[in-house]
Amino acid sequence: MRTLSAGELIAATHNSGKVKELKALFEPLGFKVVSAIDLDLPEPEETEKTFVGNAILKAKAAAEATGKPALSDDSGLAVTALDGAPGIYSARWAGEPRDFGLAMEKVRAELDAKGTTDYSARFICVLAICWPDGHSEAFEGEIAGHLEFPPRGDRGFGYDPIFVATGETITFGEMDPDRKHAMSHRADAFKKLTAWLEAVAN
């Protein structure tokens, strides 16, 4: 049975916001999260068509480069009225260099062009672990909500300033980070991952 022992864990992401959240989730379990930024690893091109595919692709590249188990996160915003866009292209909508202010403007422009009043959306996250031999495990989480404009708050990253989770009145960008970590799409995927860790440990 494959397992994962506490110790150094490579975070296969170049997104500093994701690194911060992954550290907050994994370090209390005894893992030392070392990011692809820290190790100056190249950023692989995301060529898959799903969150799961891209998460595994990134984790596999980091595991092969370091010879250690690697964790990756592929996540994005799926807007109902835009048929799930930007989805796996969420980061790419922000251009190079990343400008999520521009990305959020694009989301609003696309919704306006549709003439829709449906602002429902989901954040989706897949956490994938890959070992140097190529074995991988993936865990998908999500949180439902709706979009509000103009953007509010500077406490999150990405599309957080326009996303209000179901049952909440403030955006993820306005929310205390600990509160967001407890309820987010990343937290949902993390709960599934930790349940798997407990199952294989027993």
81 compared with 6, residue with greater pLDDT: 81
Instruction: For 52-78, write each residue's pLDDT tens digit.
Output: 999 999 999 999 999 998 999 899 999
Residue 104, pLDDT above cutoff 60: yes
**2 falls within a domain:** no
Q: What residues are labeled active site?
A: 74
The confidence band for 31, taking pLDDT boundaries of 50, 70 and 90, is: confident
Strands in 32-35's sheet, in edge-to-edge order, are 32-35, 8-11, 70-79, 120-130, 136-147, 163-165
- DSSP letters, 116-139, are ----EEEEEEEEEEE-TTS-EEEE
94 inside domain: yes
CA dihedral 95, 98, 104, 110 (to 10 degrees): 10
H or E stretch covering 168: none
The model's pLDDT over 146-164, given as tens digits with 9 standing for 90+, comes to 999 999 999 988 999 999 9
Q: Is residue 169 part of a domain?
A: yes
d(CA 190, CA 166): 19
Is residue 1 scored above 60 in pLDDT?
Answer: no
- List the domain range (segments joined by +) for residue 112: 8-201
Tally the domains of the chain.
1
Helix (H) or strand (E) holding 2: none
pLDDT at residue number 130 = 94
CATH at 51 = 3.90.950.10
Does residue 1 belong to any structural domain of this protein? no
d(CA 35, CA 71): 9
* Two tokens, residue 50: 């799903």
Q: Is the pTM of this model over 0.95?
A: no
Residue 16 lies in a domain: yes
